[in-house]
A and B are shown apart, each in its own frame.
Chain A
């Protein structure tokens, strides 16, 4: 086994000049999220992200892959400032969404999180009815009319591909749904806020293959309208659904490119090792 830390350091020093292919492709895309030398610390001793520079294109699915603890979820949570909840954590550098620094004083947190929705690894429906779950986001953001909310709920559930299954029992408890349905409900709940970006943190990792398939279908549908960033452990999943893939390792971004190129012709040896299952 070679020492990965050394290799990661070596790559991050060299990749600046070499990433011409990605630059070419991204030049044709509109960039929505961009980070600038992002460092993230859980506390002054634990540095979870090192010098991340990433550009995420509009209306595409971008997947983050990498072994456990490499910082993919941490990076994801920087985009809607969920990391703010961790006491003592802080970051250096910049995260820009639509060219605005989301860590600046002027940004209103609730507004940001409405624009940047998030789906969690473990489905977390509230102990309320299905309708109330989906209407939660619009309601806390100020929409009150019943007919408006009904419309939003129907729209969100349809986009989340759950409407057919639950349209007759919107008033029953969300906790009575199956695991896969609960996760799609969580996606629908996010969609009800009409976000621009959806962050997904291993949304299918706790589901059976059939439910996973349904979630993937839903994601494929959604990318027409939304920018999606997904963290996944499952390489096949990343290959199936994403347009771009970023490989992370020990808190650093090793390589990002189109998914096709990452899986067929990665420019870094370590990426190939990981994808072919030599470690991870």
Chain B
């Protein structure tokens, strides 16, 4: 026997190929995670501001963003912000043209509610017609004081606005009733006319009753708005253009070139917190993604609540009650095939069945006074969750069936031999034993459901929905509301936003967050499953 044939008999090349396959798979997963981690986490780090002077005398101030090396050209991309002045946030420059680059101490980054970042120098602080310029000393701490004051004032503005809304709310409602009656031509009947008359009189009385308070609030609001507007910073860009920044529209400002590593870390934590806990700004390209996190988690929970009971019941019937034969085989095959149907098809089904048929019918029955404005007959978190529940049903059914099959026959027979009915056996012996299998199904369903975007796009996901599906106003759980979703957020920010370049890092951060949330949800489910497994470890001799 030759060396070669022994080599083949041992199967070394195949073992090697198998090992390579595993390494490549692992490598790709690791690569995805590394790229997303690096790009996603780096986004929040406050970058130094570099002032670049080109050989034609042009000056730019901004963050170093990217370098591009072509064959013999080396180019640098600078994020120079100031979109309101320059029109675009980014500029490419040839490295050969750069005369000097410096890191000026006094350069500030201003994060604004609108128009993206502003990079420049503080010239003066204006508070209610009093200007403090650099000549008068510590301008930076003055600026921070003004910043505090501006936000305080802004909060007061919002508060006053809310007060006015609360004050006029009953009147507004009454007026709505009146206009509805008018639309219905209620004045054609005697009693309709009387009702309309009464409503109008009530509205008049109400208006008079609140008039004084209303005017007082309004003038207060006016004063506050003027005060708010009067607090601003005069800033200058590096190429000498001046700009006034209203401080209540500035989210934060800082001088990155002066910051040490600890200050930067602190800033970084703050940004990270803002990212997970705040609402988005600027067409989702800035700020946080909290509504999207909330929407994703809530949708997954609703989906689980819907899919687990159905899947488990179906699997129990299929496995324990149904007579095994051609029909059950066919059903099993169909369920398995359902798992392979493209998710957008489920989305279309959800739109047609849940939203138009079920939601539309409910609207006809229960909310007919609001028609033609739909209540449940439009996309919402409930319909999206149910659509995903349908999508993940096969996974749960298959995993549960496996769990049921793994229950030792001896245990089932033992229960029956003690006089238990079939149902008692299932309830007390089979289900607890199959619990780990059921949870495995849930884990798979969560993984699949949390990452699915296509069906959601037509069943209730929107670009921006700051009102959450769960809040403090009755009935607390608003299942009819539209919602945001991290997966859709990635698509929207990355490909639908007006400023794709600036939003790119946000895509990575959001992707990272989505992965983390899926992992977190899975860890919880796996933890529960392992605890159950310990309880139901099989008997040993």
Q: Which residues of A contact B (CB under 8 A)?
A: 80, 82, 85, 87, 110-111, 113-114, 117-118, 120, 122-127, 136-137, 140-141, 173-175, 179, 182, 186, 189-190, 193, 206
B416–A124 touching, CB < 8 Å:
no
Q: What would 11 A/B residue contacts be, using CB atoms closer than 8 Å?
A: A85-B413, A110-B419, A110-B420, A111-B419, A127-B432, A136-B418, A137-B419, A140-B418, A140-B420, A140-B428, A179-B541
CB contacts under 8 Å to A, within B412-467, are 413-421, 424, 428-429, 432-433
A120–B418 touching, CB < 8 Å:
no
A140–B421 touching, CB < 8 Å:
yes
**Chain B neighbourhood of A173, CB < 8 A:** 535
**Chain A neighbourhood of B323, CB < 8 A:** 87
**B: number of interface residues (CB 8 Å):** 26
Distance of A124 Cα from B429 Cα, bound (Å): 11
- Among A85, A120, A137, A175, point to the contact of B410 (Cβ < 8 A): A120
In the complex, whether B141 has a CB less than 8 A from a CB of chain A is no
Distance of A87 Cα from B320 Cα, bound (Å): 12
Shortest Cβ gap from A80 to chain B (Å): 7
Shortest Cβ gap from A191 to chain B (Å): 11
A85–B419 touching, CB < 8 Å:
no
In the complex, whether B539 has a CB less than 8 A from a CB of chain A is yes
- Report the number of A-B residue pairs with Cβ-Cβ less than 8 Å: 80
- Among A87, A124, A137, point to the contact of B411 (Cβ < 8 A): A124
**Chain B neighbourhood of A182, CB < 8 A:** 539
A122–B418 touching, CB < 8 Å:
no
In the complex, whether B473 has a CB less than 8 A from a CB of chain A is no
Q: Which residues of B contact A (CB under 8 A)?
A: 323-324, 408, 410-411, 413-421, 424, 428-429, 432-433, 535-541
Distance of A120 Cα from B324 Cα, bound (Å): 26
**Chain A neighbourhood of B420, CB < 8 A:** 110, 136-137, 140
Given known contacts A124-B410, A136-B428, A82 and B417 CB-to-CB distance under 8 angstroms: yes
Given known contacts A87-B324, A140-B424, A182-B539, A124 and B419 CB-to-CB distance under 8 angstroms: no
Complex: chain A residue closest to B537, CB-CB: A175
A123–B539 touching, CB < 8 Å:
yes
Distance of A82 Cα from B413 Cα, bound (Å): 8
Shortest Cβ gap from B12 to chain A (Å): 42
B418–A113 touching, CB < 8 Å:
yes
**Chain A neighbourhood of B421, CB < 8 A:** 110, 140
B537–A113 touching, CB < 8 Å:
no
**Chain A neighbourhood of B411, CB < 8 A:** 124, 126-127
B410–A190 touching, CB < 8 Å:
no
A190–B416 touching, CB < 8 Å:
no
B537–A124 touching, CB < 8 Å:
no
Distance of A190 Cα from B415 Cα, bound (Å): 10
Given known contacts A80-B417, A179-B541, A122 and B410 CB-to-CB distance under 8 angstroms: yes
Shortest Cβ gap from A162 to chain B (Å): 16
Shortest Cβ gap from B427 to chain A (Å): 9
Distance of A141 Cα from B538 Cα, bound (Å): 26
Complex: chain B residue closest to A174, CB-CB: B539
**Chain A neighbourhood of B324, CB < 8 A:** 87
Distance of A182 Cα from B433 Cα, bound (Å): 18
**Chain B neighbourhood of A85, CB < 8 A:** 413, 416
**Chain B neighbourhood of A123, CB < 8 A:** 539, 541
**Chain B neighbourhood of A124, CB < 8 A:** 408, 410-411, 413-414, 539
B414–A120 touching, CB < 8 Å:
yes
Shortest Cβ gap from A152 to chain B (Å): 13
